[in-house]
Structure 1
């Protein structure tokens, strides 16, 4: 028996928390941005031939990586950035 559209969508949403290669899932980001930021994101994505989602994920990951590379794991700055208690 075929599933209804609502059933398929509910199943898809149910898989989101564990989706992806790492199993860490996807998280919903619902945000309004300025028209300028949206147009810039579209241009960047088009230039790199990726989706806007992929471009945004890449920009965020690159910015985070740059910060993490500068932090010593055994410092208060590391704990503050990752919001973890001191060791």
Structure 2
């Protein structure tokens, strides 16, 4: 028996939790951004021949890496940076 559209969508969303090369999964980002930022993101992505998602991921991970490299692993600054607050 064929799956309904809702069943296929539910299965797809369930697989996202372990998607990707590392198996860490993907997380949904649902937000509004300024037109200026969106246009800049589109220009950057086009310049580097990648999707807007890839460009945004690259910008975020590079900024995070730059901060983490400057932190001492057992310092209070390290602990403060890695506290996940919403």
Give the gaps of 5 or more residues in structure 2.
none
Kindly indicate whether residue 49 of structure 2 is the aligned counterpart of residue 49 of structure 1: yes
What displacement does 1:75 show? 0.6
Residue aligning to 1:60: 60
- The equivalences for 1:2-21 within 5 A come to 2-21=2-21
Distance 1:63 1:43 in 2: 19
Supply the distance in 2 between the matched residues of 1:43 and 1:65 (Cα, whole angstroms). 23
Secondary structure at the residue paired with 1:29? coil
Find the counterpart in structure 2 of residue 76 from structure 1: 76
2:26 paired residue number: 26
RMSD: 1.3
Gapped runs of 5+ residues in structure 1? none
TM (normalized to structure 2)?
A: 0.91
Cα displacement (A) at 1:5? 2.3
